[in-house]
Amino acid sequence: MVAVGNEPYSWLHAKLKETLSGDDDFAWLRYRPSFLGDPAPLSSVARRPVRATGSELCHFGAKKMLVSLFLDSSCAGRGGEARLGLMDLRRFLVLMGLVISWAGLSYAAPQVSPFLPTVADPDKAPGPAPKGMAWIPGGEFSMGCVMPSQGVCTMATMNAVNDAQPIHRVYVDGFWMDQNDVTNAEFAKFVKATSYVTVAEIVPTKEQFPTAPPKNLVAGSIVFTPPKKPVPLDDYFQWWSYVPGANWRHPTGPKSDLKGRDNYPVVQVAYTDAAAYAKWVGKRLPTEAEWEFAARGGLSGKTYFWGDDFRPKGKWMANIFEGQFPVKDTGEDGFIGLAPVAQFPANGYGLYDMAGNVWQWCSDWYRPDYYARLKLAGVEVARNPQGPESSYDPNDEQPQRVQRGGSFLCTDQYCTRYMMGTRGKGDVDTGNNHVGFRCVMAK
C-alpha cells in the first residue's frame, strides 16, 4: 500500500467512490493513480523503467539522470528500486473490460458534461497593458480534463487525464500575463544585468553526489536525442540523454548556440531559474489555476484552447510532434523541433503557444491527487488556489512543480498534454530543451 501523506491510496479510492458515485458509475476509476486498487507490486507480470505513465520525460531530474545513467547500476531501466511495476495481467484485463463497458454505456445514453460555463468578471483592464502582456479578466470556470468524446481516444490520452480530475470550479482574480513565452533575447538581458548562473551551468558537487566519480561531476542538462530507429516507448533512456555542457546558451549541447534564435523560447531553465527571472522583471510565475483560466481563453470544456476540432479546416494550431515518435518529427505543422514564439493563432485572450512548443512552469507544487482532495474537502469553488502545501508523487521522490501546455514532443502516440486541462510536472532542479515559462503580474 502506498501512502498519500498520512493516508493510503486505498482509503482515498474508497472515499472517492463514495463521494463521486452518481451519474457516472465509473468516474472514481479515473481518479486512481493505477486505475485499480493499490499500485501493483514489483512482482507484477509486466514491468517498465518509467516513473510517470505517458509523460514525455517522465520528469526524471537531470541530476538523478546524471547519477543513474553513469554511476548507479541500480538505476531506472536496469533493475533495482527505481523500476516501477505495472498492473498485473489480471488487473489489466479487468480494466479493459470496464473501459469497454463504460464506452458501451456512453453510446447508449447521452453523457452530461461536467463543465459549466465560464463566468468572466466584467471588469475591464485596470489601465494600459504593460509591454508584451495581455489582460486576463479573471472569473469562475471549470478546471480539469476528461477523455474527449472523439478524436484522440488513445492510451496516451487516458494516461494524460488521470491527474486532471475531477472537474471542479475555480475562481481567479484578474491579472496580466505575458502574451508569449520568455524568449532567449529577454533572458539574455536578465543574465547580463545580474550575472545570473542557471542550474544547468553549475557543476554538481561531491557533497551532492558522494558516490559519483569526479569525472562525472560536470555541468549539463537533459536533451531530447531521437534514436535512429523505432524503439519501445517504455524506456525514455532511448530518447533522453544527459549532455555535458547543455544549458540555455547551448540548448542541445556545446555545439549548439542561439544564433538567429533571439525570438525562440528560452529552454534549459529549471524552476528556480524561471522564478529568478520573474522576480527580476517585477512579475511572478502563474499559479496552475491562473494558467488554465488564461489558456482556455474564455471557452469552457473544449478539448483544445481553440475548440474541439484538432485541425479546424485542416489548419495546424500548435507545434507538436508529427511522424513516428521518437524517431522523426516530420514537421507537418511547419516546424521540426522548437519553433519561434507566436507562429500559430492566439487564443481568445491574445495569448500565443498555450499548447505545444514548450512546457511552461507554474508555481504550484505537484500532487496527482490534488483535485481529488479538493473534492473530498467539500470545496465548491476554490478561490485563487495556490496548490498543495508540498509536493508528493508516489512515482518520484524528488520535489516537483507543475508544468502546463505540452511541447513540440507531444503526440497521441505517447503524450497528448497539449489538451486543455492536462497537467505536467518537473523536478525543480531540472531543465531540458522542451521546457520554458511565461510570467504574470497582479493588476
Domains and CATH numbers, the chain: 3-442 (3.90.1580.10)
pLDDT, position 56? 40
Residue 401 in contact with residue 363, Cβ under 8 Å?
yes
The confidence band for 112, taking pLDDT boundaries of 50, 70 and 90, is confident
Residue 55 in contact with residue 415, Cβ under 8 Å?
yes
User: What residues have CB less than 8 Å from 92, skipping those under 6 apart?
Assistant: 46, 86
Task: Provide the Cα torsion 146, 22, 383, 366; round to 10°.
Answer: -50
pLDDT, position 361? 98
Residue in the block written with cell 472515499? 15
pLDDT, position 110? 54
Q: Give the Cα-Cα-Cα angle 203, 65, 216 (nearest 5 degrees).
A: 45
On the question of a cis peptide bond just before residue 326, with omega within 30 degrees of 0, the verdict is: yes
The predicted model gives 176-185 an average pLDDT of 98
What's the CA gap between 124 and 277, in Å, rounded?
28
pLDDT, position 50? 34
The predicted model gives 221-244 an average pLDDT of 93
Residue in the block written with cell 505517458? 54
pLDDT, position 234? 86
Of 205 and 195, which is predicted with more confidence? 195
Q: How many CA atoms lie within 13 A of 49 on its CB side?
A: 18
pLDDT digits (tens, 9 = 90+) for 281-290: 999 999 999 9
pLDDT, position 10? 35
What is the SS3 assignment for 217? coil
The confidence band for 15, taking pLDDT boundaries of 50, 70 and 90, is very low
Task: Provide the Cα torsion 370, 374, 380, 385; round to 10°.
Answer: -50
pTM of the model: 0.78
What's the CA gap between 216 and 218, in Å, rounded?
6
Instruction: Count each helix (H run) and each strand (E run) in the chain, helices first.
Output: 8, 17
What's the CA gap between 148 and 151, in Å, rounded?
7
The confidence band for 164, taking pLDDT boundaries of 50, 70 and 90, is very high
Residue 136 in contact with residue 175, Cβ under 8 Å?
yes
The confidence band for 207, taking pLDDT boundaries of 50, 70 and 90, is confident
The confidence band for 149, taking pLDDT boundaries of 50, 70 and 90, is low
The values of phi and psi at residue 93, to 5°, are: -65, -40
Residue 171 in contact with residue 150, Cβ under 8 Å?
no
The predicted model gives 70-78 an average pLDDT of 34
Of 21 and 33, which is predicted with more confidence? 21
Closest residue by Cα to residue 439 from 342, 366, 330, 363: 363
pLDDT, position 409? 97
* pLDDT above 90: residue 420: yes
pLDDT, position 64? 53
**Rg of the chain in Å (alpha carbons):** 21
Q: How many CB atoms lie within 10 A of CB 2?
A: 12
pLDDT digits (tens, 9 = 90+) for 367-413: 999 999 999 999 999 999 999 999 999 888 889 999 999 999 999 89
DSSP string, 96-126: HHHHHHHHHHHHHSPPPPSPPPPEE--PPPS
The confidence band for 65, taking pLDDT boundaries of 50, 70 and 90, is low
The confidence band for 260, taking pLDDT boundaries of 50, 70 and 90, is very high
pLDDT, position 147? 81
pLDDT, position 348? 97
Distance between terminal CA atoms of the chain?
Answer: 46
- Name beta bridge partners: 279: none
